Structure 1
Amino acid sequence: MPKIRLTKEFRFEMAHALEGYDGLCRHMHGHSYILAVTVIGEPIDKQGHPKLGMVMDFGDLKRIVNPLIVDRFDHAVAVMANTPTHAKLREAGFNRIEALPFQPTCENMIQYFAEIIKANLPVNVTLHHLKLNETATSYAEWYATDNL
């Protein structure tokens, strides 16, 4: 049976600040993120199965990624936990703070997203790769083959 890759794009708006960074990104700023999720698997070939011919229903992929990533991070501020920036945001009353155990760079965020998605996929489907655009011309990529 052939292996087929499926890709679904997800979009969200998120702000972040890079604590201790030596450039402009140390200041809080936002991005329009595009997360492309590519999974791989064999199409279901069981006659009578409601998903016959599909590797995975795109709707099922949305039911994984939207609540665990998009709904969580959309219009949130991502910062490294237990830093001065995190404390200032809490003191200022921000209510959509994602305090993470790592610097919220594009590279770290994509690795984090990969772990979340991998843990929630059906057993017959594997995460192949992710692409996370932070801007129209800047992105990070994560491939399962690079992270065995």
Structure 2
Amino acid sequence: MLSITKRFEFEMAHLLSDYKGKCSFLHGHSYKLEVSITGELAEGTDMLVDFNVIKELVEKEVIILLDHRLVLKDNHQNIKRFAISGEDVLWLPFEPTAERLILWIKEKIAIGLPKNIELYRLKLSETNTCFVEWINDR
């Protein structure tokens, strides 16, 4: 089985409103996202897919929505605090933990993949020492 991986980086701010601790305060991360796909070689080519196809898909479906954004759970507490602040907020129905973000990213990417390939693995790093992975267990 072959797989290829494309790396992305983006900056994002968030807070965890349902959490007691440092992460309940507004803060940001320099995220690193690795997107790995697997499948059969595309007919008439010697590659699974052009890396540019993956780049365009991930940038369109994920990076453009998260990069340099404030991402918050859509709840009364956050709306009261940030809705009139003028901040560029992406409101989500869940706390923007790394675990929930990677599942959201998986859904955003999977729907746009070419037919001959599938998502194999995602790795989302919040810091140099903390990351979450999703692996396709079919």
Deviation track 1:54-84 (CA, whole Å, cap 9, x = no partner) reads 1010000011000111111000011101231
Q: Which amino acid aligns with 2:51?
A: F
Deviation track 1:21-53 (CA, whole Å, cap 9, x = no partner) reads 11100001000000000000111242xxxxx10
Matching residue of 1:92: 85
User: 1:1-148 to 2 correspondence within 5 Å?
Assistant: 3-46=1-44, 52-94=45-87, 96-145=88-137, 148=138
Preserved contact between residue 19 and residue 83 of structure 1 (Cα < 8 Å):
no
Preserved contact between residue 18 and residue 95 of structure 2 (Cα < 8 Å):
no
Unpaired segments ≥5 residues, structure 1: 47-51
Work out the percentage of aligned pairs sharing the same amino acid.
37
Greater Rg by CA: 1
CA distance in 1, matches of 2:127, 2:25: 16
The number of equivalent residue pairs is: 138
Deviation track 1:105-143 (CA, whole Å, cap 9, x = no partner) reads 000000110111111101111000100000111000001
CA distance in 1, matches of 2:79, 2:54: 32
TM-score, normalization by structure 1: 0.90
Per-residue deviation, 1:89: 1.2
Preserved contact between residue 34 and residue 134 of structure 1 (Cα < 8 Å):
yes
TM-score, normalization by structure 2: 0.96
RMSD, aligned α-carbons? 1.0
Deviation track 1:92-112 (CA, whole Å, cap 9, x = no partner) reads 111x21100111000000011
Preserved contact between residue 73 and residue 94 of structure 2 (Cα < 8 Å):
yes
Q: Which amino acid aligns with 2:103?
A: Q
Unpaired segments ≥5 residues, structure 2: none
Preserved contact between residue 41 and residue 48 of structure 2 (Cα < 8 Å):
yes
CA distance in 2, matches of 1:125, 1:111: 19
